[in-house]
Structure 1
């Protein structure tokens, strides 16, 4: 952790497992279902977009960035006929906290978790909000008092802060919503990249157009793998994402940052053992 970029990447590795319970655990889905949502994606869009309030689909689409055209509009604003943004956020938080309590077990009441929640919240509430739409929306919400809830809320803020920066990096490289998934898939060794789970359901003609544009720009070769230019572009995106994720951690001195890493490590290890499920 000798550079700010390394710090941001290290903290992402430690905090991402905390956030992944929202996607891989049963409790958040059950909480959203209790509000009246019968499908995963209605609950996803309601819970994640809730801090933005009752904004049009176009605003959510812009903030989330990586959903195919029309996907957001199938859920927003429809979900607000079922519940309110306030109830959706509360349900999402309650489900994630319940999942964390189940998985972390004896760590829940440990001094290390309490300290991790305190330090992570200090970092998560310290960064500038300019240009950070999702992060700013979460910053406007009350910080929970209960340690596990505070830990999740802080990790979620940092995840959206990083995500806002990632969108900036993608826009800077002129990589659009679906091209971003293709580059991620290629980087992960998924071949052909069109089979990646986040895009495989999209129309074949649409995906063919995405791949054609990437080839025309010289980022992907005829075998759907990175060219040298494509590899360089992906590396620049990740480097800028890390650089833009740095500001929250400037709020911690070296000793506090080292303590935060030490406190988060057993939490991340326990969550990684289960895949945060």
Structure 2
């Protein structure tokens, strides 16, 4: 049933720390290394793209959206010479579950965590898949039964569902992948934007062209800060992303949404305190 107030932003804040253990904890890295990957990015691309199967780099580049030209092709498809998509996803899940078990400690095994996992699973499997490539790939996988694995898988599905919608919002505003990083960096107060960790390694000529393009569109001023038009564009992207992320939560009643928020809050606080935020 429809819920009276938008909840996607609040649920994103609560579920994002669950997903971020994949990037901020050692266990997932160790699990991917055990498959034979010698560097972080091979494991990243193998683990995240695994639900898409053995597709060309061009497909992963399109689905991920915010990597610069050539970055995906340095890892896809050669990661599949080391392991299979099925094994990569399994390792990613096992590593994330191990990290969650360590960080959450006594919260593991509680009725509250199990209820959060069940409600997230209900939400994460209820949205339409049309136009949601990454979400559809994860929806095709089995939902784990074990509560912590269930919690992680559902949160990961919701993250990719939101990400698919975010890409749609970026495309509608004609904001490319590298451009989106510039807008995000400046919105977070990082200046110059070229120093942002997701893009600082790109060729200077490439970054200069991106910055010049944003200036030409009136989104950046001469000093590389957001203009009023740039801030408005960023705000529209975020608002649209939130709106497009609402669908999964329509499967929950208002009382279930309240219960889900209450169950996730201590989990999110614990993970945020550990650095997974």
Whole-Å separation in 2 of the counterparts to 1:276 and 1:183: 23
Deviation of 1:137 (Å) = 0.2
Whole-Å separation in 2 of the counterparts to 1:177 and 1:252: 33
In structure 1, the partner of 2:23 is 23
Deviation of 1:2 (Å) = 5.5
What secondary structure is seen at the aligned counterpart in 2 of 1:13?
A: helix
3, 6, 10: which is aligned to 2:5? 3
Give matches, 1:1-277, under 5 Å.
3-4=5-6, 7-276=7-276
Q: Deviation per CA, 1:137-184, whole angstroms, max 9, x where unpaired? A: 000000001000000000000000000000000000000010000000
Q: Deviation per CA, 1:184-219, whole angstroms, max 9, x where unpaired? A: 000000010000000000000100000000000000
Q: Deviation per CA, 1:105-129, whole angstroms, max 9, x where unpaired? A: 0000111000000000000000000
Whole-Å separation in 1 of the counterparts to 2:4 and 2:25: 34
Deviation of 1:3 (Å) = 2.2
Whole-Å separation in 2 of the counterparts to 1:243 and 1:173: 15
Instruction: Give the alignment's TM-score, normalised by structure 2.
Output: 0.98
Q: Which structure 1 residue ranges, 4+ long, deviate > 4 Å from structure 2? A: none
Deviation of 1:102 (Å) = 0.1
Whole-Å separation in 2 of the counterparts to 1:125 and 1:224: 42
Deviation of 1:98 (Å) = 0.1
When the two chains are superposed, the root-mean-square deviation of aligned CA atoms in Å is: 0.9
Whole-Å separation in 2 of the counterparts to 1:112 and 1:275: 22
Instruction: Give the alignment's TM-score, normalised by structure 1.
Output: 0.98
What secondary structure is seen at the aligned counterpart in 2 of 1:109?
A: coil
Whole-Å separation in 1 of the counterparts to 2:41 and 2:4: 40
Whole-Å separation in 2 of the counterparts to 1:275 and 1:246: 27
Deviation of 1:130 (Å) = 0.3
Gaps of 5+ in 1: none
Gaps of 5+ in 2: none
